[in-house]
Amino acid sequence: MSGPGTRILFLSYCGVAVSLLREFNNAVTEPYMDEPFHVPQAQAFCRGEWSTWDPKITTPPGMYILSVLLHRIFMFRCNVALLRFTVTLTLLALPLFLTRLLTFHQRRRPPPLLAPTAEALILSTFPIAWFYGFLYYTEVPSLVSVLFTMILATQDWHWPAAVLGVISCLFRQTNIIWTLYAFAISQLMRLRCKRRNGSLHDPPALSAGPGEWYGWHSRDILRSIISAPAALPELLPTFVPYMLALVMFGAFVFWNGGIVLGDKANHVPVLHVPQLYYFTAFATLMGWPAVVFGRGGPLKLAREVVHRMRVVFTVLLSAFMVFTVHRFTIHHPFLLADNRHYTFYVWRRVFMLHRLVPYLFIPGYQACAWAWWLRVAPDQTLLQSLILPIAIMPTLLPTPLLEPRYFLVPYILLRAQVVDMRPVGLVAEGVWYAAINVATIYVFLYNEREGVGRFMW
Residue 113: is its pLDDT beyond 90? no
Residue 259: is its pLDDT beyond 80? yes
Per-residue pLDDT reduced to its tens digit, 354-378: 999 999 999 999 999 999 999 999 8
Work out the end-to-end distance of the chain between its first and last CA atoms, rounded to an integer number of angstroms. Answer: 31
Residue 216: is its pLDDT beyond 60? no
Q: pLDDT band for position 265 (50/70/90)?
A: confident
pLDDT at 55: 92
Greater confidence, 258 or 78?
A: 78
Greater confidence, 456 or 232?
A: 456
CB atoms within 10 A of CB 261: 17
Residue 184: is its pLDDT beyond 90? yes
How far is Cα of residue 132 from the mean position of the Cα atoms in its chain? 13
C-alpha dist (Å) from residue 308 to 167, 366, 374, 430: 41, 10, 10, 30
Strand, coil or helix: what is 354?
coil
Residue 210: is its pLDDT beyond 70? no
Distance between CA atoms of 5 and 116, rounded to whole angstroms? 10
The overall pTM is greater than 0.85: yes
Residue 213: is its pLDDT beyond 50? no
pLDDT at 200: 81
Average pLDDT over residues 318-343: 94
Per-residue pLDDT reduced to its tens digit, 157-170: 999 999 999 999 99
Q: Give Rg (Cα) of the chain.
A: 22
- Assess contact for 189 and 154: CB atoms under 8 A: yes
How far is Cα of residue 40 from the mean position of the Cα atoms in its chain? 27
Distance between CA atoms of 130 and 90, rounded to whole angstroms? 11
DSSP string, 237-291: HHHHHHHHHHHHHHHHHHHHTSS--S-GGG------THHHHHHHHHHHHHSHHHH
Least confident of 26-30, 112-116, 130-134, 261-265: 261-265
Mean pLDDT for the chain overall: 92
Question: Which amino acid makes up residue 163?
Answer: V
Average pLDDT over residues 182-199: 80
pLDDT at 195: 60
pLDDT at 286: 98
